Structure 1
Amino acid sequence: MTKLSVNINKIATLRNARGHNRPDLLQAARDCERFGAQGITVHPRPDERHIRYQDVRDLKAVVTTELNIEGNPTPDFLNLVREVRPEQVTLVPDAPDAITSNAGWDTVRHQIFLIGVVQELKALGCRVSIFLDPSPEMVKAAVATGTDRIELYTEDYARLYPTDPAAALAPYQTAAVLAQQLGLGLNAGHDLDLDNLAYLKQNLPGLEEVSIGHALICDALYLGLENTIQLYRRQLV
């Protein structure tokens, strides 16, 4: 079964809108786990517009499944990871002002930099995943970094899925098969939802984990958080 890690950034966005502690982010993380989430994902950004660095420290003490911290490995981000030592770190090449993740790493151009970061994070005991577009060239170059996994950036899949699911999935299947051949674990994330998730799961070999936040939290407004997490879990069987 592919694991579901729930990204709780949007819960922090709602909390920050009023400047108090409602909703309670830590309780939300506990509830997500209680309702069936197999991991909690956060993506702290430099402006702390949703997840704050202190949230990450606090979450480490309460998350009992797997804490996955996403982000660009800037000095501040790496200092946070050194302190928290999450189970997984997902390296994402976000610009400081990015609204959301919008591209994977160029693992050829940035290979030397990524090798150093991956080595340090693995020495801390963290599993490392590199956010990638479904490019065979980038997958092959990712191996040389020493990363444990890659996370395929699925925005293009989600955008094309409604009109041609097979064509939308094709480059991701190629990348997934290659990752398996090269010994890389496989994660996926971005714009996955209840409409497109099952097809991805059924047709993407070796998919170990998906990270889903925005769509899941939007669905929870209408369906309830517990029911929504269970619905997403069922897509991954």
Structure 2
Amino acid sequence: MSTHAPSAPSLQRTRRPSLTARRKAATELGIARAAAELFAERGPDRTTAEQIAGRAGVALRTFYRYYRGKQDAVAPLLADSAERQRIALAATAPGTALPRALERSLSDALSGRDEAARESLLWTRVLLRAAAGDAALRTVWYRVHRDAEESLLPVLATLAGPGADPLSVRLTAVTATEALRVALETWAATGEPLSGTQASPAALAVRCLRELTGGSEP
């Protein structure tokens, strides 16, 4: 696979979501935060969908309109870092070497550069700790990263350029996704801060990426 992004125009910017889409996203996030708070306070086993809906200020039928079950409700928080990684890769400047683009995307996704990113990372830590004793919550975590892998494929195919081997593109998506997942799991098990150390999420993710790619640097 080519190691450089094409010199042609970069990926098209996505249009700003409609007001309806933004309201839907806000409702989903509100439910996700309520679920995360209750999981932290009581644990997933002792939390009900009714309690989550009440904490979020929505009707139970609204909860089920968005989510199949209580563990599914935290998916937006668990998926946030992977989505930031995808957005960062999609914004890669033409001509950037792909290994460097991958490292930058991980750093951008996991450095907690704004309040929303910091919040999702801290909630991810809480939820991963809760997932240690909850198989359904672990399933949501793994599904989030499977979906992230799929969402990276078209982005990486564009960056790899015409004629790129589809298998190589898929393996790159797996590598990038696994680096992020393992880094978050490793960090969540510690008391390390979000930044400033070699055990921060961003530093761990770059290390994982280099290990998975044979230790190469961009």
How high is the TM-score relative to the length of structure 2? 0.30
Structure with a larger share of its residues in helix? 2
Structure with a larger share of its residues in strand? 1
Report 1 or 2 for greater relative contact order, CA contacts < 8 Å, sequence distance ≥ 6: 2
